[in-house]
Amino acid sequence: MTNIRLKTLYSRFKSTLSNKEYWLCFIAGLSLVFAYAPFSQWYLALFIPAVVFHKVQLQTPKKSAKLIGLFAFGWFASGISWVHVSIDQFGGLPLVVSLSIMLLLCLYLALFPVLAVYLTARFSVNQQLNLWLLPSFWLISEYLRSVVLTGFPWLSLGYSQIDSPLANFAPVIGEVGITALLIIINICLVKIFHSIKLNNTKNLAFPTVFIFSLGILTYVLSNVAWVHMTGKTTKVALVQGNVAQSIKWAPEQEWPTMLKYLDLSRVNFDADIIIWPESAIPAMEPAVQDYLTTVNRSALLNDSAIITGIINYNFESKEYFNSLITLGKKETDDEQGYFYYHSNRYSKNHLLPIGEYVPFQEWLRPLAPLFNLPMSSFTRGRYVQKNLIANNVHLLPLLCFEIAFPHQLAANLTSKTNLLLTVSNDAWFGNSHGPHQHMEIARMRALEFGRPLLRSTNNGITAVVDHRGDFIARIPQFEERVLKAEVPLVTGETPYSQWPRLILLLMVLIPLIIVKAITFTRN
């Protein structure tokens, strides 16, 4: 009996390997990585999913789920392969184990597109896949991907369009809306292909009108200014220390690293605001009060302000926080600047699993170095916190991959917010495409919310972005450099910045309305 079962499994496996449709969907998923940074071939996202949708629409729900699952697995396997760099170099695990963890993560993420197709089939008539339902369920599954197990919304389709004409929609419907548009565009291509193939011009009407109307609306939005220049600017200096991750937390490197950042800043005190990256100071805040006092006085004497990443330890609650603090000038009449545990600080809310906190740590920490990385016992900061104030400028801070969560940004945006600030340490991921994708996400936030963005990192990509998501200035990765720029300040609000959750709801409902409209037209 066991031999029969093994032969059956082997036969199914062999049949799967020889199935051209499976390979086509998997390769289509693999190739989608080229739509994102650093390759930035955004047009690929306009038709690659259509190849898969064409294959799934006439299949059984089970076969459709398999096909979309292979597509999604290829998509994430190539798109987030950079995760393996940190696991392999700093996780202390054998190669086969680190690769297995990477593949398990990709399989987990692939479940969400599979869920979208399953729900589409479940609510389609006679279980024959109605592709027009897919955009709604795709957005629902993407939302779940951003919240389940703390969320990992990386590689959402809309990010690939930051340099495309569709980027004009970001201030109105956000990246989530652009994702919906991409899904609908791909479905329209499938419907147009089928209509031409079957010589059925009746079904050409809606897809053709939609794409034509989208083109016109794209042009109209390109001429709309949602925010306006105030005529004011602020001078910034972003310090990229380029400290190797392997020595960052070595005790003997603590003072050399801190002196490096101070020396790089002293010659740039003509800037209004100087930004140091995430955990630039590799020490606990209470332990380096003399150093912080010196930096604070230097900044005050030069009418400048410094924002730096640091680890804070609260003696009362015995908790660690991944924090940002301001040193030097806060407002015009500020003569004191920094003092320990002042309110002009930010503590990271959205912690990275394994890297910043370890679930079930009593069992996992003894297993491998991966679960016992330096600084992996943080406590969450509050979801809503005050903007940082530096030299009369209000900055909305987000630490590392928090920039991938637009709803958190929206919750902390105020009418006084001048700049968005994100600091990171992407040294974990080496010379991979991960930091480029991270920068791409940050650019999308600037465009969605209509605010210039400062991004300071340990080893790149350090950059200044304007309110349109375009680079003002940037410096190369893996170099010890200081990026100086003059940033124009803006005023006004984008529609998306005011109603991000409402817009998400509408983007889920609109495709359902389209389905009803198409059904009504046919009847």
In this prediction, residue 363 carries a pLDDT of 47
Q: With contact defined as beta carbons under 8 Å apart, do 242 and 480 qualify?
A: yes
> Could you tell me which of 406, 518, 511, 519 has the C-alpha nearest to residue 140?
511
pLDDT digits (tens, 9 = 90+) for 325-346: 999 999 877 778 898 888 999 9
Characterize 480-503 residue by residue with b for buried, 16 or more Cβ atoms within 10 angstroms of its Cβ, and e for exposed: ebbbbbebebbeeebbbbeebeeb
Q: Is 400 a catalytic residue?
A: yes
pLDDT digits (tens, 9 = 90+) for 359-406: 545 544 444 444 455 555 778 899 999 999 999 999 999 999 899 999
Catalytic residue among 400, 402, 440, 448: 400
Say yes or no to pLDDT of 11 above 50. Answer: yes
In this prediction, residue 481 carries a pLDDT of 95
In this prediction, residue 289 carries a pLDDT of 95
Calpha distance 103→109 (Å, rounded): 10
pLDDT digits (tens, 9 = 90+) for 409-444: 999 999 999 999 999 988 778 888 989 999 999 999
In this prediction, residue 273 carries a pLDDT of 97
Helix H segments across 307-450?
Answer: 361-364, 406-412, 434-449
Quick one: CA dihedral 386, 389, 392, 394, positive or negative? negative
11-38: average pLDDT: 83
Q: With contact defined as beta carbons under 8 Å apart, do 346 and 385 qualify?
A: yes
In this prediction, residue 9 carries a pLDDT of 52
> Could you tell me which of 395, 399, 414 has the C-alpha nearest to residue 236?
395
Catalytic residue among 175, 278, 402, 440: 278
- Greater confidence (88 vs 485) lies with 485
For the whole model, what pTM was predicted?
0.91
Calpha distance 165→456 (Å, rounded): 28
Calpha distance 355→374 (Å, rounded): 8
pLDDT digits (tens, 9 = 90+) for 103-138: 899 999 999 999 999 899 888 876 668 898 999 999
Catalytic residue among 188, 329, 348, 448: 348
Q: Which domains does the chain have, with CATH numbers?
A: 15-224+501-522 (no CATH), 229-349+387-493 (3.60.110.10)
Q: Is 278 a catalytic residue?
A: yes
* Whole-number CA gyration radius for the chain: 25
> Could you tell me which of 283, 287, 291 has the C-alpha nearest to residue 311?
283
Q: Is 348 a catalytic residue?
A: yes
In this prediction, residue 367 carries a pLDDT of 46
In whole numbers, what is the pLDDT of the chain averaged over residues?
88
